Structure formats: structure tokens, C-alpha cells
A and B are shown apart, each in its own frame.
Chain A
Amino acid sequence: VMYCNGFPSEERRVRANDREYNEKFQYASNCIMTSKYNIITFLPVNLFEQFQEVANTYFLFLLILQLIPQISSLSWFTTIVPLALVLSITAVKDATDDYFRHKSDNQVNNRQSQVLIRGSLQNEKWMNVRVGDIIKLENNQFVAADLLLLSSSEPHGLCYIETAELDGETNMKVRQSVSVTSELGDPNNLASFDGEVVCEPPNNKLDRFCGTLYWRDKKYTLTNQNMLLRGCVLRNTEACYGLVIFAGPDTKLMQNSGRTKFKRTSIDRLMNTLVLWIFGFLVCMGVILAVGNAVWEREVGSLFQSYLPWDPPVDNFLFSAFLSFWSYVIILNTVVPISLYVSVEVIRLGHSYFINWDQQMFCSQCNTAAEARTTTLNEELGQVEYIFSDKTGTLTQNIMSFNKCSINGQTYGEVTDPLGPQPKRLDFTPFNPLADPDFCFYDDTLLESVKVGDLHTHEFFRLLSLCHTVMSEEKSEGELVYKAQSPDEGALVTAARNFGFVFRSRTPGTITTIEMGRPVTYTLLAILDFNNIRKRMSVIVRNPEGKIRLYCKGADTVLLERLHPCNHELMNITSDHLNEYAADGLRTLALAYRDLSEDEWEAWSASHRCADKATDCREDRLAAAYEQIEQDMMLLGATAIEDKLQEGVPETIAVLSLANIKIWVLTGDKQETAVNIGYSCKMLTDDMTEVFIISGHTVQSVRQELRSEHLQCPPPPPPPPPPPPSNLMDNISGEFALIINGHSLAHALEADMETEFVSTACACKAVICCRVTPLQKAQVVELIKKHKKAVTLAIGDGANDVSMIKSAHIGVGISGQEGIQAVLASDYSFSQFRFLQRLLLVHGRWSYLRMCRFLCYFFYKNFAFTMVHFWFGFFCGFSAQTVYDQYFITLYNIVYTSLPVLAMGIFDQDVPDQRSLEYPKLYEPGQLNLLFNKKEFFICIAQGIYTSVVLFFVPYAVLSDATQSNGVPLADYQTFAVTTATALVIVVSVQITLDTGFWTVINHVFVWGSLGSYFTIMFALHSQTLFRIFPNQFHFVGSAQSTLLQPVVWLTIALATAICIVPVLAFRFLKLDLKPQLSDTVRYTQLVRQKKRKPGRLGARGGSRRSGYAFAHQEGFGELITSGKNMRLSSLALATFASRHSSSWIDTLRRKKHTHAHTPPSASGECSPAPSCVSGSVPPLSNSSSVLGGSQDTPIEEETGAAAPAQSMQIVPASSTQTTPALAPDSESAAPQGPAQALNAGVLSSSAVRCHGGDSPGGWTLTLGTVQVSCLL
């Protein structure tokens, strides 16, 4: 509702069960057509599309030129054969694609769905469903069209859908019908339903819908919450009924399927530039020859007219020259043959298949092979300079394991002897039948401690089993499945479960656990839910004995300062433990409890209720209320959770950075978590001179932070980086890392600070951006693209990475647990981050190398081939006479020389794959674009032109006076043509044997086969048989045998070959002998080995702490649990919430917006029998208020909703100042005092920034110090 400020002019009206009415509007039917052609339209449409390609049109233009007899210097077929070949290959590919589209269209269109027609349910094909129909959906069915949910088998008109196909999120979402229609349970009632929906026209916004339902003279507001979109799957809902609003092409799914942005590689762009240059060159040649023609026709041709008159329309030498220009354009066009583009595509396709086939990029656990989803980018993989990586699910597995804990000053979970035998995994089953068999823990002292009944240990695990928002599901007796909102929480609860404190089930008001085999039910009094500011959560429970206790877990920075003073000693010990854990890269939480008396509880409860009901600043008030009770707590201990890195991540990062690829981590995670991961995957090391942290909230502060760090950096490379910046950069950037926060990034990305940010960031070895929005991820990528002219690669797995994946040159999707959205948007996909090194260093490198070699050779061979005509022009009166037989011209590019170069382009290898990984520096030529650039291009061209000179003038010199052994002169045109052509084919074949570095059977077959085919085809074309059939087409009859039988001809060919090849050979040998490219490799081999042998340093960074309440990026389920709304749900429905962590925090904000937009009273009044101590407002799934409260009362807080992100940002400083004003001075002193004291710096930073930001330079420096300390820790 909130967006609906009046509908645009074309609103859509749909009346239920009234086909005649709806037909008036001629809405699209539900038949979808993704295919582009049918049998009749295929040829014209496809040809039309193909001729939109410039190259094809160009060749068509040439073809037309050739049809003009005065111009035609070649037969029409020399162009039409390659063109037809190219067009037909493309057409076949398009036709195949379209056939499969037809097939899938048919399959989709013919799916059955149950439509309510005249009061009874009938099976209809999907394509026959009309707008306004009411259809019935059953569990696990695909939604056939965009439906308005009318009623469902579940209470409150709820139903659950999975939207993986639509937006890639695998979690379930809840939809709810408008309450009036939810009562229309059965078909009979629905048949008489005649409501009319007025809504927005079709659009592609997946997350919004606005419309109004008019029924029985009442208006009901409709939102996206009421819609089931096509492409979703109904889950955990027996059945539901929906009214078709949008069908077929109008559905949001189809509206979203635009054409993807076509990415081009830098080689592509270079190639296009070069092709343009070549066209320029072609025109120059044409002009030179045309001028020559003019001169010749004037000086000689006009006198020669008695033997050779001008063609009828030609009456003067200028006109003749004009025609000759076009004739030469036709002849010389082979410098850019049409086969170039086709060959490039074929090569890339081949490389893509190699990627798909690579076993070493196959993940057997998830049965996923790597996939090149785009076939046009492969060589760019060999040029990547910047990698932008998501964290969760990409670097990490997003699997948390309970690794260590500290209970009452005693640490558990240490593996005592790292050199000793592999410690035994604890077996919990004999002790606890409800234990999770997958749980791993190695330290049996903890288990002993539980068994002996240590009170602290028991309380520790009791806390873990109570203080969370996990939901449990018991599929069968004893088989518990936890649905946790974040994997951290799941890990903690599972740990408690295995150590005998099993969380079994919960109701809105109770939590049932089994403690040491004994069922206990606690009364849940309140959940003080997590949020990003509080960084902690608490529950208040009453145990069976009636005692009230608050259990709290949270970030140590927050929690330790809220402890009772008597905990001081324990706090120090625990704090040391926390430091140790953090040093190991573990995510830590501190746990504490507080006993509450009945009075305290009552008093607080009242104040809480009051805060809860407040209409203004409700969140602030609630926070204050929470703050009030979470004081004077008793420390229990701390947990350490390992955020498991994906396999091989540190190694991959090490190898990639050795390859001079800069890795930026862009994550929505908190700074601490991100830094943590940065250390554990060895992006950040303690050897680094400086880790800059930028977390300013204002433009000025960010600018100052950037500047101050800029100063600390050694002078950055001069603004226009010199061509070999890499070595330079290495020296400078070795020791710095930059960590920047989302809000600072927003400022840093502003136009005036961009360059500063880029230069600072690029001087750093590692850059981590935390708390970034999906949009910012894309902006960062765009920034580097804009300023660095480097190839960027973005890798991610979630829907929040899509924008980044799309905007980077290369997008890689990790097919992980977060749905397929990223994969669908990506160019390459695989399932493990570590495959990236193989993709880049092996496949990318090879692709680049092959493509470069291919292009060099391709241009060379065509210049060698074509330029002969240029030289011949000077001897044939510039008449555009070709040197070769026209068949040779036709076949040269598509038969005689295509396959060897293709084989080289597809199969060539300079070093085996292991070596590429062993010596990552081998990757550098790609980044510096050394193998094919303008210089290389000119070298190829020069070589080609040299070859053409040799190929023309050697036969010229030899043959002009030579005769056959029977006295017949050899200088006739046909002999000359055959000699030159043969010499050409041989020379380019020899050249490719030199260029090919990896001679497989295929190369042999192709090279020898091409030579063989040349001779075979030539003899065939010059044979008597063909001549007898078409005497006018095969003028060269007999030329082959009479020419090639002459020793002089062979001597000429050998001479030409030697003259062409010897200099090349000498040059290559010199280059290899004096400046071997692999010499670098050797140096770096040692480097890599040293680095690998270097022991992973641990504990060296004493006392630094990277802890975090990392388990949630969003609020928990507190309200939902206590509201009791979900409790009736079938257990599977919980999955909705369980995987909600996967959505980005933008979604969180959006959800917040939702909660803001609804007024609490209606919710509590309607359906919540739960205790009144609800911490938040109404859960997101309820918008029934709009139904109850009439039509127009809901959009109240539209503005507030939109401003929600800003608001929540503002709260940060507000709350912290409120709570810790007295501590602010401490924070300033904390900086010099060293890390150990600065436990609270995390909180202080924000207040400090707010207090001093931009006020005075002095104030600023202090803040900076604080900020850095807090983050360095």
C-alpha cells in the first residue's frame, strides 16, 4: 500500500469468475512463449537478426559489390560460401536453442492446473487459464500465474511458498490472504465470489504489489503479502485458492526475464579496434591502388585500349580508379575474414567445454561440476586483476561448529598435543540418546565436567539451551531437527543438546528441555531479542521451582561491561580465553545470567509493557528497558564458534595473491566477523605494517581518515600508473590492509572522494568492506572498473551478490546453499571457492594464451595471404586481378588454414596445469596484456606483410624467366598462382608448427590434414573431370600437375619458405635464449615454496581480539515466538524462518519497514494469546490490520518506513551515548593503554565519532586512534 500514490493511467481491473468482463480488457493469456521463431518465421527473423551484426552486413555489402560486373574482382561465391557457412552455423545453433525453448514452453504451457469453472474444479492446461479465474493449488505445485491468494487450508489464510525459482532465495516465505476472503474456504463459496481487483499494470518488481479489492461495497487494500507469484512453489500448505491477476507474459517472473547485459572481453574490444584499424588500412590500400590505377590507366591503359578497351560505363581513368577502389576492397577484405568471428566463438566454446569437463573443478559432495554459463568470456579469465568476493557461503561454508568454550575460568576444547595422535571424537550416544550424531567435539574433560555435575557447566549449557530463538521439530521420537535463524545459534543449541541439555520444544510461553535426561519446562517470560546495536540477546525464564532468571549471551565487548563488579577476576580470565579464541579466528560470545526477584520482574515487566505500547520512539524506549534489566549479570563463560572456511580458501587466496590478483572482500557482515575471516583466510596477517580501518560516519571524517592513511602509506604510484605497475605495486603494497565500513564506504564512493579512496585502497594488499549493501558491492566494482581499467571478477553465492556479479567483468556464482540466484546471474559457476584458482590460473591463463596465439597467427596468415594482391597490383595495371585461383581464395580461410589454428586455439598449452598453479606468476602476462596488444598486433602484421612480399617477389623473380623442362615458360598466370598459393599454404603451415606448443594427435591430424586437403582439393579442382562438366568454372584445368611436376616450382617454394621462416626462427630463438619468459617462474617457485613452508603463525598476535556477536545480522524470532502465531504451523513451515539468515540485511531493513508500517493493537487483539511482554511489534506476516481496519488506514507510516534505514543508523550513536556517556573519556585513554583494556572500544567508537567527528583536528586524532584500536583488536 505504501507505494500507491494513485495508480498510473493503465490500471488493471480483474473481476473474479467473470470471463466475459475480463475479456474486454484483452489481458494476455497464460500461454508463455519464450521461443523466438516458428517454422515459417525462422528464416526471415533469424536472418534479420544475424544481419544486425555489423560483420555480417559488411560481408553482405561485399557480396552486393561483387555482383557488379565492373567491380567484381572475385566470383560471388568467394564471399557467399563463407558467409553462408557462418550464417548457417549460427542459424543451426539458434534453431537448436529455439527448439528446446519450444519444448520447454510446451511442457510448461501444458501443465495441468485446477480451475474453478462454474462452481466446479476442472483440470485445465496452464495456457488456458485466464485472468480472473480462480485456481486451486496443492502442496508442492508450481504457481501457474500471479495469483491473489483468496483462501488457504491453513489458519488465518496463511500459506507458504518457496521462491527459489523467482529470486533464488531458498527459504520459505509466508503469504496471507485478506481476511474476508480467507473465510471463503470451499469451492462453492468461491464460485460465487465476485470481487473486483483494481491494481497496478504488469511490472517487474518482485517485492511489491499494490491493488485494491472491491467486494460487497467494501475496499480492501492488497499488497505483495497477498500475492503468489508465478514460479513459486507452494509448500507445507495442503491447498489454497487464488485469483489470477497477471497471466503469462504479464507475470512478474516473465517481466523479469529481460535480455541480459552482454559482456564483452577486453580482447573483444581490442579486436574490434584492430578490425577498425584494419578497415582503415584496407581503405588506405584501396586508395593507393586506386591512385595507381588512375595513373596507370592514364599513362598506359589508355594507350593499351586497342587491345583492351575500357568496360562500357567507364569513360575516363578517374572512374576506372573509382571502380578499382571497390574491386580492391573486395579482394583485400580477406585481411578480416568472416571466419575470424566464428573461429573466436568456436575457440571460446571449446574452452567453455573444458571448464565444464574439468574433473578437478567438480565437487563430489554436492555433485556439481563447474559450469561456464557464458561462453564468451574465457580469455578474460586470464587477465583478472581484482577479485571481489562475498564472504558468507563463498569464503566460508556458512557452517558453524562449536569449537571451544570457557566455563568459569576453565577453558575446554583445546587440542592438547597438536603433534600427537588425532584426538578421538567424543561419542555422546551412550550418555545422551538425544545427541546429534554429527556433532564433533574432542575434549572429554568437558563431558566429564557435565557428568560430575559441575554447577557452572550445567548452568552454562542450560543457558545455551534456553537463550535462543531456535525452533525445534521432532520428526519422530528423539529425532530433533533445529531450525535456527543463524547457524551460530544452531551450533550453540546443538552443543547444549549433546552435553545433556536438550532443547526439545517451545510454545509461546514455555520452553521444554531435557536436562540430563530429565524433562524440565521453563516458563518463558520475555525474549529480549537481538539487534545489531544491542549485540546481545536475553531471555527471562521462570524455572519449575519458580525462580526467575535472565540469561544473556552477547558480544563480549557489550556483555562484559554489564557484569556485576564481583565478576572482576573471572572476567579477566575469561577475557584472556576470549583473546586466545579470537586469535584462532573463532567467533566468540560471552554468556551471563542474572537472578531476578519477583518484584524486580514485576517492575521491569510493567516498564517494558509501557515501552512496548509507546507509539513514538518505541524502539528507543524498548532498548532502554532492555538496558535497564541487563545489568549486574554474573559471568558464566564464553563460547567459541568456528566459522568454517571452505576447503582450501587460505591456499587459494595465497596463490591468487601471488598471481598478483588483488582480493577484496565485500560482505554484509559485521566488521569484526569480516576481519576475523580476513585473518583466518590469511588475507590479513600480523606481518602487515598497518591495517587501516575506516568507519567514519560523516563525509569529513571519512575524508580525513582516508587522508591520514594516505599519508602513512608510502607514496602511492603516480596517478597514471606506468605500464609495469605490478612490480612497483608489490613493493609498496605488501604491508597494508584496508577495512572500510558500509556507511563510510557510502561517503568514500561519492564523486569527489572516489579517486582518493581508490588510490588508498589499491595501495593496500587486502581490502575488506563490511556492512555493505548489495548496491554498494556493485558500486565498488564499478569504481575499480572505472579507475583502474583492470579486469574485475566478482564471486558470490547469494542473491545479494547478484548486482556485483552482474557489474563485474566476470561474475562467478558459487552454487552453495543460498539458492541459485547468484548462479543464474553469473558467467561461471562452481561450488567451491578454491576452484577459482584453477579457473583463473589454469583455464583462464590457457584461454588467454590460446586466444592470443590464435589472434596473432590469424592476422598473420591473412595478411600474408592478402597482401600478395597488393604487390601484384603494381604488375597488373592495378586492375584488381587476384594472384590466386578464386577457389583458393574461397577455401583458404575456411578449409586450408582454419583447422590447425583452431586446434592451436583450443588445445595449446605452454605449461601443464600443475605448473600454472605452482608458479602463479605465470599469470602476470595476462594481467599486463602482454601476449596480444597493439604492439604484438603490429608485429604479426609486419610479419604477415613480410611473408607476402617474399611470397610474391620470390616467385616473381624466379618464374619470370623460368621455363619448364620442355621449354614452355613458367611465367603464365596459372602457374604463378599455383606456385604462390602452394608456397603460402606451406609457409603458414610451417609457421603454425612453430607457434603450436602442444602437439596432440589432433594438431597433427589438422596440420597434415590441411596440407593434404590443399593438395587434394587443388588437384580435384584442376582435374579434367570437373573441367569437362563446367568448363567455364574451372579455368585452371591441368595447372596443378603441370606446375607441381616442375622442380623449379618446388625450389621456388622451398626458397620462399626458407626466407619467410628463417628470420622468425632466429628471432624466436634469440628471444628464448636471451630473455626466457620462464626465468621468472623459477624465482617464484622458490617464493611459493617458502611461503607454503612457513608455519601458520598462531598466537603471535597476543591479545588482539576479533570477537563478535556474529550470529545474527538481523533481529531474531523473539516476537514471533512469543506472539504464538507460528505455533500452529506445520513443523516444516519453520524452515521459512530457519533459513532467513540468508537474506541480506537490506531485507532486514525492509522487514523493519513492514513492522513499522503496521500498528500493533490489531495484531495483538486478533490472534495473540501470548504474554504481553512482546518485545517487538507485529510479526511480518501479519498485515491483517489493513483488512480489519478498513481500507485506508494502513499507509500511515509510509514516510517512516522509507526512512527506516537512516533512522536505524542514527540510533547507533544515540543509544551508545545514552548508555555510556561516562565511559567516553576512558575510551580516549584506552587507546594508548593497549589492546587489553579496550574491551569496549567497539561501542565507544561510534560515540566517539559522533562526539568529535569533524569538530576539531585534535578530537579527530583521538577518535581515529580509538577506532583503529577497536578494530585492530
Chain B
Amino acid sequence: MMASSYNAKDEDGHITVSGPGGGTLRSKKPENTAFKQQRLPAWQPILTAGTVLPAFFIIGLIFIPIGIGLYVTSNNIKEFEIDYTGVDMSSPCFNCSQNFSWNSTRPCTCTIPFYLDQPYENNVFMYYGLSNFYQNHRRYVKSRDDSQLNGDLESLMKPSKECEPYAYHENKPIAPCGAIANSMFNGEPVSCCAHQTHSSFHLYLICLFTSLADTLELFYNDPNGTKIQIPMTATGIAWWTDKHVKFRNPTDNANLTAVFQGTTKPVNWRRPVYELDTDPQNNGFINEDFIVWMRTAALPTFRKLYRIIPKKNSMVPTLLRGNYTLEVVYNYPVRSFEGRKRMILSTISWMGGKNPFLGIAYITVGSVCFFLGVVLLIIHHKYGNRNNSADIAN
């Protein structure tokens, strides 16, 4: 591109006309290889009616059954959803959502009754859903320190700049740092529950409001009037790699309090990270509720797995048909940004949860392909240039 036209080589007379001694000149004939002569054997596909039309029919024939299968599967999945944000005056949580203030220490609980019109078999999954919550915002997504969460001691004390402005609080490093951790949705009700019976009111408060988070409790209202709490497990809700690779406590030392010495809790949290759970396998950075929250959502409306209601045995449905009560300890404010909070109960199939779109899309695409195939076939027969392939072969 930038070469100057003169090259001393030219002066050197390398282009000397082949003189009498030119017999010794080596032949400059290019090699006769298929590559150099551009004669490599090659497959030269041509779009002909013979290939394209069957392709359309085949795509149609594959997609439509898949779509039907998916649709049926999806329809067999049971899903139940409650919005408990409390936007409406009539909503049980209206008061809680109105009275929220950041500094309030008073818990607000609301109870939402609902009715399941069919029994839920197998494992039932409980999700919390948030709307209009931008977990996928660039500044939000990057506001974390994976090294800290991976248990790196240096990062623990020196959180990455990405965590700003949630890296330090009162000159102490925040653990876990960053906006994601700071805005964690769900707290740890277990420990609170453990303290509920405690006599000391003071303690009760502390225990109940350790985290700025909602807690969801599900009760079955027995037809005979008793309220039975549905047992739920809080483990197994995170990705295996997250739980075992990505998130690690700084040491395997059981005494997390010592490990996190010198750090401070995220600003919005009421409890430090090492008090998220009593179970050492679910405490600190490897607390699964925390991990689930830290796996940011792709879209502003999302759901996250909250609890699993394990099936009892194959004979009895996990959740019977009947009346239930959802008890919400309403801590997490979303009204300010017009967010919504939901609770979802769902069963699962081989292809995951309820997903009618996929089935419908497959059926549609398959039908369109089939239809296109027919149309193209007609066009081809009516107007198609049938000499085409013959000419090419000529």
C-alpha cells in the first residue's frame, strides 16, 4: 500500500533480458496443482426445486409434531401466580407497600389467601417474580466482584472498583460488594423463624429484620380449619457451578464471623453475609438465595427460584387442591419504581416450566414452511424455468 515505486532491486538488473546464457534460466512456470490452478474438487450445490421443495416439506414435517409435543407438554404444566405488590387498595399488601420507609424497623406482614383448583404433583417450584426491575442494566450487571465472591481474601478487603459506590462503607470494605448484592431481594427467614419464639422483643426485631427482603411463607388451609405450613427447601435452587465453583467463602473455616472480620455488610442489608443461614453449607457467599440473586436476569421482568416444595411420596400430590395462604413479610420496596412482585408456583416437565410460546412458534413455523413448500411447488410448476438445470448442464 505504501511502498515506494522504486526498489533498488529494480536497479539491480534482475530483469535482464535472457541473453545467450539464458539457457540456464529456471522455468518460472507455475506449478500445476489443483490448488494453484483453482481446480480443487468441489461440491457445487445449486438451489433446485428438487432440493429446496423437499427441504421445506421436511422442515414443516419436523417442526409441526415438535410444536404439538411442546404445546401439549406445556399445557400439562400447572402454574399459579399471585401479584402481591399491593398496588390496589383492595390488596392485602396495600398498606405494607404504602407505609414503607427505608428506616422503618417495623415489620409489615400481609397475608394473601388463594385457591389452587388442581393438585400439584411432584416437586413444586416456588418463584418470586419482579417486574420493571433492571437487573440487566449495564451498571448493575458489572457492579460485583467475582473474585471476592470466589473467596479471594485480597478482594474481600479490597473490593474491585466495579463495585462502586458499594465498595466501601464507613471505610470498611463491603462484603459482598456491589449494587447487585446490595439490592438482594429475599432474606433468610429461617433464622428469624428460629427466633420467633424468643421472649425478648428486641431480639425478635433484630432477628426479623436482618435483611431488607421479603420472605414468603406458604400455608395450606386444611378444610378443617387448621393452617399447615408447607415445608420448603432452600437448597438446590442455584446452578451447580455457581454453588461449587463460582461462589466460595474466603475459607472453609466454619467460623465465618472471623473470616469476615474487618468487612461490613452491604448498606441495605440488615444482617452481615455470614449470618444468612445457620447451615454452614448455605451461609456466607454460598448461600443459595444469595447466589440466585447474584445470577442477574436478562430482562427487566424475571422470576427467580425461591424454594422447592419437595414431593412427599408418589401417592399424594405435593400441593393438594384447596385453599392456601401466602404470608409475606413485606420488606422490599418496589412501588418507587413501579415494580411488581409476584409469587409463582409451578410444576416442571422435561422441558422446564410452562412455555406455550415455543410450541406455538414451532407449529407456526412448521405450517408456514409447509405452506411455502406448497406455494413454491405451484409457482415452480406454473412459471418455473425448467430449462434452467438443463442449460447449466449444457
Q: For B127, give the chain A residue with the smallest CB separation.
A: A969
The answer to whether residues A962 and B355 also contact, given A303-B337, A1051-B66 and a CB cut-off of 8 A, is: yes
Q: Given A967-B308, A1038-B239, A1058-B59, are A820 and B15 also a contact pair (CB < 8 Å)? A: yes
Contact B385 A1076 (CB under 8 A): yes
Residue of B nearest to A106 (CB): B8
Q: Which one, A353-361, A377-385, A1232-1240, is touching chain B?
A: A353-361
Closest-CB distance, B50 to chain A (whole angstroms): 11
In the complex, which of the residues B3, B66, B305, B372 contacts A968, with contact meaning CB atoms closer than 8 Å?
A: B305
A254-B7 Cα distance, complex, nearest whole Å: 9
Which of chain A's residues have a CB closer than 8 A to the CB of B5?
Answer: 257-260, 824
Interface residues of A in 936-968 (CB under 8 A from B): 954, 956-968
Q: Besides A958-B358, A963-B346, 16 other CB < 8 A contacts?
A: A73-B138, A260-B4, A262-B1, A875-B299, A876-B136, A880-B138, A960-B302, A965-B352, A967-B237, A969-B302, A973-B136, A973-B295, A1031-B152, A1037-B245, A1042-B239, A1078-B391
Instruction: Decide if B352 touches A971 in the complex (CB within 8 Å).
Output: no
The minimal Cβ–Cβ distance linking B263 to chain A, given in whole angstroms, is: 18
Known: A231-B11, A965-B348, A1078-B392. A971 touches B302 (CB 8 A): yes
Of all chain A residues, which has the CB nearest B300?
A: A875
Report the minimum CB–CB distance from B115 to chain A (whole Å): 23
Q: How far, in angstroms, from A1066 to B378 measured CA to CA in the complex?
A: 13
**In the A-B complex, the 9 residue pairs with the closest CB atoms:** A257-B6, A1038-B241, A976-B298, A879-B138, A357-B36, A963-B353, A881-B138, A303-B337, A307-B183
The CB with the most chain B CB atoms within 10 A, among A32, A142, A303, A961, is that of: A961
User: Of the 9-residue stretches B26-34, B90-98, B318-326, which lies at the interface with chain A?
Assistant: B26-34
Q: How far is the CA of A997 from the CA of B351 in the complex (A)?
A: 38
Considering the chains assembled together, what is the distance between the CA atoms of A1006 and B89 in angstroms?
63
Determine if A973 and B296 form an interchain contact, defined as CB atoms under 8 angstroms apart: yes
* Interchain nearest-CB distance for B179 vs A (Å): 5
Q: Which of B308-337 contact A (CB under 8 A)?
A: 308, 333, 336-337
Judged by a CB distance under 8 angstroms, whether A1032 is at the interface is: yes
Of B143-151, B194-202, B216-224, B252-260, the one contacting chain A is B143-151
Q: Does A1222 contact B (CB under 8 A)?
A: no
B274 contacts across to A, CB distance below 8 A: none
Complex contact A1027–B357 (CB within 8 A): no
Cα separation A52 to B349 with both chains bound (whole Å): 60
Q: Are A1051 and B125 in contact (CB under 8 A)?
A: no
What would be 6 A-B contacts, judged by CB atoms less than 8 Å apart?
A164-B17, A257-B4, A367-B28, A876-B300, A967-B123, A1042-B239
Interface residue from A165, A301, A875, A1070 paired with B11 (Cβ < 8 Å):
A165
Contact present for B136 and A881 (CB under 8 Å): yes
- Residues of A within 8 Å of B10, CB to CB, are 165, 824
User: Which A residues lie within 8 Å of B108 (CB)?
Assistant: none
Say yes or no: B351 contacts A968, CB within 8 Å.
no
* B172 lies within 8 A of chain A by Cβ: no
Q: Tell me, yes or no, whether B261 is within 8 Å of chain A by CB.
A: no
Q: Is the CB of A969 within 8 A of B369?
A: no
- State whether A959 and B70 are in contact (beta carbons under 8 Å apart), knowing that A165-B11, A973-B136 are contacts in the complex: no
Report A-chain residues with C-beta under 8 Å of the C-beta of B36: 353-354, 357-359
Contacts of A327 in B (CB 8 A): 138
A107 — nearest CB in chain B belongs to which residue?
B12
Chain B neighbourhood of A1035, CB < 8 A: 146
Flag if B385 contacts A1079 (CB, 8 Å): yes
Residue B140 at the A interface, CB < 8 A?
A: yes
Q: In the complex where A913-B38, A1062-B59 touch, is A142 in contact with B348 (Cβ < 8 A)? A: no
| Residue in chain A with minimal CB distance to B392 | A1078
A contact residues around B296 at 8 Å (CB): 972-973
B48 / chain A contacts, CB cutoff of 8 Å = 1072
Q: How many residue-residue contacts, CB under 8 A, span A and B?
A: 350
Q: Is the pair B31, A367 in contact by a Cβ cutoff of 8 Å?
A: no
| Chain A residues with CB below 8 A from B137, complex form | 308, 876-877, 879, 881
Distance in angstroms between the alpha carbons of A1145 and B329 in the assembled complex: 103
Partner of A376 from B1, B134, B351 at Cβ < 8 Å: B1
For A1002, list chain B residues within 8 Å (CB): 40
On whether the beta carbons of A1062 and B372 are closer than 8 Å, the reply is yes
The answer to whether B59 and A259 touch across the interface, beta carbons within 8 angstroms, is no
Which chain A residues border B240 with CB–CB below 8 Å? Answer: 1038, 1042
Q: Looking at the assembled complex, report how far the CB atom of B154 sits from the nearest CB atom of chain A, in whole angstroms.
A: 11
Q: Which of B107-145 contact A (CB under 8 A)?
A: 123, 125, 127, 132-141, 143, 145
User: A941 to B245, alpha carbons, bound, how many Å?
Assistant: 42
Fill in one digit per residue for A301-338: 1 if any B CB lies within 8 Å of its CB, else 0. Answer: 10110111101100000000000000100000000000
Report B207-261 residues with CB < 8 Å from chain A CB.
236-242, 245-246
Residues of B within 8 A of A973 (CB): 135-136, 141, 295-298
Known: A306-B333, A327-B138. A358 touches B358 (CB 8 A): no
**For residue A357, which residues in chain B have a CB less than 8 angstroms away from its CB?**
30-31, 36-37
Stretch at the interface among A97-105, A729-737, A1094-1102: A97-105
The verdict on B368 contacting chain A, using a C-beta distance below 8 Å, is yes
Chain B CB within 10 Å, residue with most, of A100, A353, A357, A1046: A357
Residues of A within 8 A of B146 (CB): 1031-1032, 1035
In the complex, whether A616 has a CB less than 8 A from a CB of chain B is no
Interface string of B143-183 (1 = CB under 8 A from A): 10111011010010000110011000000000000010011
Q: Report if B45 contacts A (CB, 8 A).
A: yes
Contact check, B13 vs A142: say whether CB atoms are below 8 A apart: yes
Q: How many residues of A contact B (CB 8 A)?
A: 126
The chain A residue sitting closest to B386, CB to CB, is: A1073
A307: B residues at CB distance < 8 A: 133, 140, 179, 182-183, 337
B178 to chain A, nearest CB (A): 10
User: Is residue A652 within 8 Å, beta carbon to beta carbon, of the partner chain?
Assistant: no
A798 to B: closest C-beta gap in Å: 15
Question: For the complex, is A87 an interface residue (Cβ under 8 Å from B)?
Answer: no
Chain B residues with CB under 8 Å of A304's CB are: 134, 336-337
Q: Scan residues 1038-1058 of chain A and give those whose CB is less than 8 A from a CB of chain B.
A: 1038, 1041-1042, 1046-1048, 1051-1052, 1055, 1058
Q: How far is the CB of A34 from chain B (nearest CB, A)?
A: 5
CB of B341 within 8 A of chain A?
Answer: no
| Contact with A1062, one of B56, B125, B133, B337 (Cβ below 8 angstroms) | B56
Does B303 have its Cβ within 8 Å of any Cβ on chain A?
yes
Q: Do residues B6 and A968 form an inter-chain contact, with CB atoms below 8 A?
A: no
| Interface core residue of B30, B346, B385 (most chain A CB under 10 Å) | B30
Residues of A within 8 A of B305 (CB): 963, 967-969
Q: Give Cα A260 to B1, complex, Å.
A: 10
Cα of A362 to Cα of B3 in the assembled complex, Å: 27
In contact, A1069 and B25 (Cβ under 8 angstroms):
no
Shortest beta-carbon distance, B66 to chain A, in Å? 7
Which A residues, 41 to 82, have Cβ-Cβ distances below 8 Å to chain B?
A: 49, 69, 73
Asked if A1131 is at the interface of the complex by the 8 Å CB criterion, the answer is no
B83 to chain A minimum Cβ distance, whole angstroms, is: 15
Smallest CB-CB separation from B70: which chain A residue? A1051
On whether A1074 and B40 interact (CB within 8 A), knowing A101-B7, A824-B10, the answer reads no
B304 contacts across to A, CB distance below 8 A: 969
Which residues in A have their C-beta under 8 angstroms from that of B182? 307
Write out, one digit per residue, whether chain A residues 210-249 have a CB within 8 A of any chain B CB (1) or not (0): 0000000000000000000011010000000000000000
Residues of B within 8 A of A1052 (CB): 358
B65 at the interface (CB under 8 A from A): no
Chain A residues numbered 771-793 whose CB sits less than 8 Å from any CB in chain B: none
Q: What residues of chain B lie closer than 8 Å to A94, measured between beta carbons?
A: 2
* Nearest CB in chain B to that of A977: its residue: B298
Cα distance A308–B136 in the bound complex, in angstroms: 11
Interchain CB contact under 8 A, B365 and A1059: yes
Q: Bound complex: CA of A94 vs CA of B4, how far in Å?
A: 12
**CB-based contact A1055/B361 at 8 Å:** yes
Q: How far is the CA of A97 from the CA of B3 in the complex (A)?
A: 8
* A434 CB-CB contact with B under 8 Å: no
Contact A1062 B11 (CB under 8 A): no
CA distance A253 to B392 in the complex (A): 55
Distance in angstroms from A1183 CB to nearest chain B CB is 28
